[in-house]
């Protein structure tokens, strides 16, 4: 049985879902951010500037930068309320309407009378957005914090800006614990680029859709018809009763992870196909797959529910 991301009609489109510009704290204008992603081979981008009063609650109008080979999805990084550590929530919302109502967030610190993080996440999802819990490790997020965002479609499991700026790129621990509690979440890799350090072109999603349009890309993201990567391509994943088979560009390792300590790896040279037995996952309700190339670059599937 092939996974829908690999059997659905259409082709994969490469995109970045987390980026900033001079509309908030990035150093490049929106047009230049879009130009750079386009010439670097991306099919789409979501410009997600910080939705706070200091910047006049921006939702960047990137529609003028679309053409017949490159498109954009409107969005923002939302902030409202305090996490358990007392710091402001960061919630990624891709596919927001241009008239999404501001929160009461004048600065990057929580204030009285704000929506909570779960409330603004729910409002964004109800408005049609694809919602992700941003950079859990960087934020110092607790599991209780993450559990509270019940409107999330996804967890940001790799953030290139956090990798380069503070070596806190990871969201897999948070995602795996939520998966083991039964949360049907997907996993995204992003840049969180501000272009003030080497924080760009390091993590992306590959979204399967019949056309490179904002509407179809957003639908595919919500369905989970995508995988995430730093470089390797995953070209097929199929599941039988006893094994999962993965096709990819040349990689050195294929690893299947599941609930708790369940994990099985196979290693080799220039592997383009590998089959992993599933006996180790008899008590796991889900698995996910990592491939690693010879340079250490990774790609990750979304969770597969067994």
CATH of the domain at 58: 3.20.20.140
Do residues 59 and 193 share a domain? yes
Residues 75 and 212 placed together within one structural domain of the fold: yes
Q: Indicate if 214 and 150 belong to the same structural domain.
A: yes
Q: Which domain holds residue 217?
A: 4-228
Residue 292 and residue 213 share a domain = no
Q: Based on the fold, state whether residues 204 and 273 are members of the same structural domain.
A: no
- 244 and 200 part of one domain: no
Residues 108 and 60 in one domain: yes
Last residue of a domain, one of 213, 228, 243: 228
Q: Are residues 109 and 131 in the same domain?
A: yes
CA distances from 205 to 72, 110, 157, 159, 168 (A): 14, 31, 11, 12, 19
Strands (E), the chain: 11-16, 44-47, 50-51, 71-78, 91-94, 130-133, 154-159, 186-190, 204-209, 226-229, 234-239, 243-258, 263-277, 286-292, 298-300, 304-305
* Euclidean distance between CA atoms 219 and 198, whole angstroms: 31
Indicate whether 170 and 265 sit together in one domain.
Answer: no
Question: Six-digit token pair at 96?
Answer: 């927001």
Residue 236 pLDDT: 97
Identify whether residues 294 and 196 lie together within a single domain: no
Q: Which two tokens stand for residue 228?
A: 């995430």
286-292 and 298-300 beta bridge pairing: antiparallel
Place of tokens 């996910």: 288
Its pTM stands at 0.97
Last residue of a domain, one of 212, 228, 244: 228
Listed residues 228, 256, 282: the one ending a domain: 228
Residue 74 in contact with residue 59, Cβ under 8 Å? yes
* Model confidence pLDDT, tens digit, residues 262-287: 999 999 999 999 999 999 999 999 99
pLDDT of the residue at 3:
82
Number of domains into which the chain is organized: 2
**Residue bearing tokens 């930068």:** 65
- DSSP secondary structure of 13-65: EEEE--B--TTTT-SS-HHHHHHHHHHTT-SEEEE--EESGGGT------GGG
CATH number of the domain that 255 lies in? Answer: 2.60.40.10
The single residue listed with the structure tokens 């050195």 is: 252
Taking the alpha carbons of 24, 26, 32, 38 in that order, is the dihedral positive or negative?
Answer: negative
146 shares its domain with 287: no
Q: Are residues 172 and 254 in the same domain?
A: no
- Please list the ranges in the chain whose pLDDT falls under 70: 1
Compute the mean pLDDT over every residue in the chain, rounded to the nearest whole number: 97
């Amino acid at each position: 049985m092939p996974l829908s991301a690999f059997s659905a009609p259409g082709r994969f489109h490469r995109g970045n879902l987390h980026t900033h510009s001079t509309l908030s704290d990035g150093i490049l204008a929106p047009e230049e951010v879009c130009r750079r992603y386009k010439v670097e081979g991306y099919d789409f981008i979501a410009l997600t500037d910080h939705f706070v009063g200091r910047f006049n609650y921006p939702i960047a109008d990137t529609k003028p930068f679309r053409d017949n080979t490159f498109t954009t999805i409107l969005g923002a990084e939302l902030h409202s309320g305090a996490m358990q550590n007392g710091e402001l929530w960061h919630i990624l919302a891709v596919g927001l309407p241009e008239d999404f109502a501001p929160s009461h967030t004048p600065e990057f610190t929580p204030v009285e009378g704000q929506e909570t993080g779960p409330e603004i996440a729910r409002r964004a999802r109800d408005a049609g957005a694809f919602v992700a819990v941003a950079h859990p490790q960087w934020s110092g997020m607790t599991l209780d914090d993450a559990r509270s965002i019940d409107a999330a479609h996804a967890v940001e499991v790799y953030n290139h800006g956090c990798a380069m700026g503070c070596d806190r790129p990871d969201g897999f621990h948070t995602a795996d614990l939520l998966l083991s509690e039964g949360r049907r979440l997907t996993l995204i890799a992003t840049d969180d680029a501000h272009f003030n350090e080497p924080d760009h072109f390091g993590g992306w999603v590959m979204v399967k859709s019949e056309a490179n349009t904002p509407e179809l890309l957003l639908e595919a993201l919500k369905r989970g018809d995508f995988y995430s990567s730093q470089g390797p391509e995953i070209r097929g994943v199929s599941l039988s009763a006893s094994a999962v088979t993965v096709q990819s560009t040349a990689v050195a390792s294929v690893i299947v992870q599941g609930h708790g300590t369940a994990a099985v790896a196979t290693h080799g040279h220039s592997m383009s196909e590998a089959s992993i037995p599933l006996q180790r996952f008899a008590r796991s309700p889900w698995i996910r797959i990592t491939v690693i190339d010879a340079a250490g670059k990774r790609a990750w599937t979304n969770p597969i529910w067994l």
